[in-house]
Chain A
């Protein structure tokens, strides 16, 4: 299987006063389409930073990221943004939805720079919401959704541009067992649909799921053997 998402010697350092902190240290990994990979590690181990670099929203200090065979690190900002929004969907814990917008408006938000939603985009958005059991809430303001519903809506939003890879940061944090199970079912289904899925988590409910192809362990910014 060829890698769709690839990290090669990724390192990210940042200054903390006079000291230089290494958030991610020489990480290399590859994820193919159809894989559901879990990135495990304690809080502060660098999972979110690694996810940000893989998604093209953080620039690495060293190393390279290849998405769909193209290096995004050397790209100009504008091209990098265009490339990542064409290939990668990202779901971050702290940036789920715009609370004052309706669920459907949130899902369609990535399409605005493309000229807004056309009829087929609207149909796809509604199909995604149906698939994620949110179709009855498409007009509801996002602030009225439960935690699980917000995660699912954010996943629908990440998928509306038809990306081949999906990066998720702690998608089941603060969710009850039932909500977490629904989200995990969706992720497994996406992997079966030939998406490359990388989930940063320390939730054992994900790490023990049989659909998870591999579990990568990150500690102090480095990939380690479990």
Chain B
């Protein structure tokens, strides 16, 4: 133990004697670690947000299909669904997308009934209030900010060749941004007008089950009776979110692999190409009776210190970048580019698995890559030393 501590102390001193090289390697590791950790932590935070979003969704969603394309749902289907065993309640919905030329972006238009039970929860997310009557709308924060809208303002939205005037009664707060950034919540008559839906026809049906654990069974029964309908379970939506975010994170991570490879090559080159001072120092160590194992251990301590310091700094930088600054650029890459982009604050989300992944991808390869050069460096050319050539 005493010997290990002495070698560790020597390793710290050796790093301090060559601060330029140590700082360059620490910075390189911090950069690679920071990028990797940013992707992982942002992915985890978004996945958590998406999970919360999925939790708030109906247990089943039924869409009518015609020719492989989504179609509207008629009253007969609603009647069947409402009476199906296991179904507690149904909520036919009218929603869709409306292109707003002045924004160059699609607005997601959702209808809501003034007496809908979920309005109580929605109200907590609003500055202002939810729409109660025709001609009123609550809109997402990003959409409102893009057009400089506040509660009390009015907006004209296109309906074919005309425009429909809506008064803004509320704006969603940033905490609802992931769900509501590009949303306009309106009454059902306004939604029908804006989206061109006939009376009695709906976009889809949200179904609440008496027993959510039977979602599989009920979904299969509905699909059997409505062969042209698509029945989507909540867990399928959650999985789709997770897969989309995971695929994007994986893609960005894969783009980083060449950078990691370049860094390892650079680290190898830097560590195997010893400077004159380092060669001299290793020669002196051999001369004064250091064993090859002592030299290697001291070298491993040096590399370990560099790797762990770099990794710690990288993790810290990733934390600040993702949760402090909202991960500019990377956020777009993982969530997708959009004119009406969510602007919510990410809640810090780290777990041991992420840290182990970072260590496995950066610290371990770095330490392994440094082993062979360290061994070569430790095995000094004694003949050259004796001739004073070290």
* Number of interface residues, chain B, beta carbon within 8 A: 32
The smallest beta-carbon distance between B365 and chain A, in angstroms, is: 29
Partner of B13, one of A94, A101, A161, A169: A101
Per-residue interface assignment for chain B, residues 1 to 45, with 1 indicating a CB less than 8 Å from any chain A CB and 0 otherwise: 011011101100100010000000000000000000000000000
Contact for B388 among A14, A58, A95, A111, CB less than 8 A: A95
Query: What residue of chain B has the Cβ atom nearest to residue A173's Cβ?
Result: B388
Nearest CB in chain B to that of A77: its residue: B292
Q: Which of B66-74, B98-106, B163-171, B283-291 contacts A (4 or more CB under 8 A)?
A: B283-291
A112–B386 CB distance below 8 A? no
Instruction: Give the secondary structure class of A's interface.
Output: helix
A57, CB-defined interface residue at 8 Å: yes
Whether B178 sits at the interface, judged by CB under 8 Å, is: no
Q: How far is the CA of A94 from the CA of B2 in the complex (A)?
A: 31
What is the CA–CA distance of A93 and B291 in the complex, to the nearest angstrom? 21
Residue of B nearest to A51 (CB): B386
Question: Is B2 a contact partner of A98 (Cβ separation < 8 A)?
Answer: no
* Residues of the A chain whose Cβ atoms lie less than 8 Å from the Cβ of B281: 98
B3 touches A92 (CB 8 A): no
Which of A51, A101, A111 neighbours the largest number of chain B CB atoms within 10 Å of its CB?
A101
The yes or no answer to A172 lying at the interface (CB within 8 A) is no
Give every chain B residue within 8 A of A85 (Cβ-Cβ).
288-289
Q: How far is the CA of A141 from the CA of B285 in the complex (A)?
A: 17
Give 1 or 0 for each of A57-86: 1 = CB within 8 Å of chain B CB: 110000000000000000001100110110
Q: Does B387 contact A (CB under 8 A)?
A: yes
- A212 vs B185: C-alpha distance in the bound complex, in angstroms? 104
A16 to B13, CA, bound (A): 39
CB nearest neighbor in B for A94 = B388
In the complex, chain B residues whose CB is within 8 Å of the CB of A201: none
Nearest chain-A residue to B285 (Cβ)? A109
Bound-state CA distance A157–B388 (Å) is 18
Interface pair B17/A81, CB less than 8 Å apart? no
Question: Separation in Å of the A84 CB from the closest CB of chain B?
Answer: 6
A42 at the interface (CB under 8 A from B): no
Q: Complex: how many Å from CA A49 to CA B386?
A: 7
Query: Which B residues lie within 8 Å of A147 (CB)?
Result: none
**Chain B residues with CB below 8 A from A95, complex form:** 280, 283-284, 287, 385, 388, 390
How far, in angstroms, from A57 to B6 measured CA to CA in the complex? 23
Inter-chain contacts of A94 with B (CB < 8 A): 283, 385-390
Residue A223 CB within 8 A of the other chain = no
- Choose among A57, A78, A84 the residue that contacts B382 (Cβ–Cβ < 8 A): A57
Is B2 in contact with A109, judged by CB distance below 8 angstroms?
no
Contact assessment for A100 and B277 in the assembled complex, using a CB-CB cutoff below 8 Å: yes
- From known contacts A94-B389, A115-B3, infer whether A78 and B290 are also in contact, taking CB-CB under 8 Å: no
CB neighbours of B389 from chain A (8 A): 94
The answer to whether B235 has its CB under 8 Å from any CB of chain A is no
Complex: A27 Cα to B335 Cα, angstroms: 78
Distance (Å) between the CB of B158 and the closest chain A CB?
Answer: 74
Tell me the nearest residue of chain B to A105, going by C-beta.
Answer: B13
The residue from B290, B383, B385, B390 contacting A113, defined by CB atoms under 8 A apart = B290
Chain A residues lying within 8 Å of B284, measured Cβ to Cβ, are 95, 97-98, 109
Q: Cβ of B294 < 8 Å from any Cβ of A?
A: yes
Q: Which of A78, A113, A169 has the most chain B CB atoms inside 10 A of its CB?
A: A113
Contact mask for chain B residues 268-303; partner A; CB cutoff 8 A; 1 contact, 0 none = 000000000100110111111111111000000000
B277 A99 Cβ-Cβ under 8 A: yes
Contact indicator B388/A110 (Cβ below 8 Å) = no
Interface residues of B (CB under 8 A from A): 2-3, 5-7, 9-10, 13, 17, 277, 280-281, 283-294, 382-383, 385-390
| Subset of 5 A-B contacts with CB under 8 Å | A51-B386, A57-B382, A90-B287, A113-B290, A113-B294
User: A78-B292, A81-B292, A115-B6 known; 10 other A-B pairs, CB under 8 Å?
Assistant: A57-B287, A57-B382, A77-B292, A95-B280, A98-B280, A101-B13, A110-B288, A112-B9, A113-B6, A113-B291
3 smallest CB-CB distances across A and B, nearest first, come from A94-B388, A85-B289, A115-B2
